[in-house]
Structure 1
Amino acid sequence: MNKAIFLDRDGVLNKERKDYVKTIHEIELFPNIEKCISEIKKNSFLAIVITNQSAVNRGLTSHENIIEIHNEIQNYLKKFDTKIDAFYYCPHRPDEHCKCRKPRPELIKQAALDFQINLSNSWMIGDNQKDFDAGTNAGCKSIKLSSPDELENVLKQIFSN
């Protein structure tokens, strides 16, 4: 079975915006993201993004724009000969009480089925409590970053064990 590093998108890979990342022009990737993704891959983990994107059901952006944003991130990473293995996102607003919105574990569990992932050997890394809880609820180890600058060191700690 595979192991994975599940990553939140906004606040971990790119700068979070109060009004949501709605188009490719609003992406601001953090420095060294390509290095972090490369390290994940080099250490035989899958890199999978798990993200809540309620801007879709709020009518602020579209599924097509979300896919375009994810493709733009992939195009950037491709320049460094690395990639994210998959993106899973929940388009629902919190008040819709769906099954896929973090902190519920459904997107992580779906990725585990799709990629034959052993969740007990996997990690969820995010910047808020919902991310941490989603990982824990799925059976992963979870880490909540207090700053995006921590990602590189957190990965080093994971890979040194």
Structure 2
Amino acid sequence: MANLCLNTKMNKAVFLDRDGIINIERKDYVKTIKEFILIDRILDVIKIINSKGYLVIIITNQSAINRKIITENNLREIHNHFLKLAKNKNAKVDGIYFCPHMPSENCECRKPKPGMILKAAKEFQIDLKKSIMFGDSNTDVKAANHAGCTGILVNKSDSIKNIIEKYLK
């Protein structure tokens, strides 16, 4: 009996943390569209990622939902606003995954656990060995490593554009 080889093409992805990478982080949470201020030139960075053939997936802890600071609907409005801004600049974001849980809830999706990355990998047929997570926290790097992809810590003084160009081939 012959073996059938299914040639399933796996995608490569860049996972980006939201607060501190996509938008300016607020200590009291981003609660409204008005408070959602993009990091300078981040849409240009996303376009560079797109041009290198990577999917762009946002991975974000949003415990403000379960803390009753914002609703899931508020968060969706903020994310839809961001997606519209990206689309207007021809920057494609393929997905946004968020965890609404507080650290004390010990869920499988909250970073540093890899749940959101693994879910995205399954839904988008992502080859995690060829994928990278960029974040501004050790929890981002740990989530990436737990999922089997490379995690890169972005310091506040670093240019995300320079870092992306260094790591994406």
**Range of TM-score over shorter length:** over 0.9
Residue 103 in structure 1 maps to residue 103 in structure 2:
no
1:73 and 2:77 matched:
no
RMSD (Å) for aligned C-alpha atoms: 1.0
Q: Is structure 2 residue 76 aligned with structure 1 residue 93?
A: no
Q: Which residue of 2 aligns with 1:51?
A: 60
- AA in 2 matched with 1:22: K
> Quick one: distance in 1 between partners of 2:126 and 2:83?
21
Mapped to 2, the partners of 1:2 and 1:26 lie a distance apart of 33
**Residues 11, 148 of structure 1: 8 Å contact kept:** no
2:4 aligns with: none
1:157 maps to which residue? 166
Query: Which stretches of structure 1, 4 residues or longer, exceed 4 Å deviation after superposition?
Result: none
**Structure 1 letter corresponding to 2:129:** S
How far apart, CA to CA, are the structure 2 residues paired with 1:118 and 1:150?
26
CA–CA separation in structure 2 for the residues paired with 1:122 and 1:142: 9
Stretches of structure 2 lacking an aligned partner (at least 5 in a row): 1-9
Percent of paired sites with the same residue = 46
2:133 match: secondary structure: strand
Amino acid at match of 1:100: C
- Does structure 2 retain, via aligned residues, the 8 Å contact 1:30–1:148? no
Aligned to 1:141: 150
Select 1:64's aligned residue among 48, 51, 73: 73
TM-score (ref. length: structure 1): 0.97
Letter paired with 1:62: T
Output one character per residue of 1:77-120: Cα deviation in whole Å (capped at 9) or x when no partner.
Answer: 11211221000000000111111100000100000000000000
Residue 19 of structure 1: aligned partner: 28
The 3-state SS of whatever aligns with 2:134 is strand
Matched length: 160
1:124 aligned to which of 116, 126, 133: 133
| Code of the aligned partner of 2:74 | N
The answer as to 2:20 corresponding to 1:30 is no
Could you list the per-position Cα deviations for residues 12-57 of structure 1 after superposition, in whole angstroms to 9, with x for gaps in the alignment? 0100000001111110101111110001111000000000000000
* TM-score, with structure 2 as normaliser: 0.92
Is 1:12–1:148's contact at 8 Å kept on the other side of the alignment? Answer: no
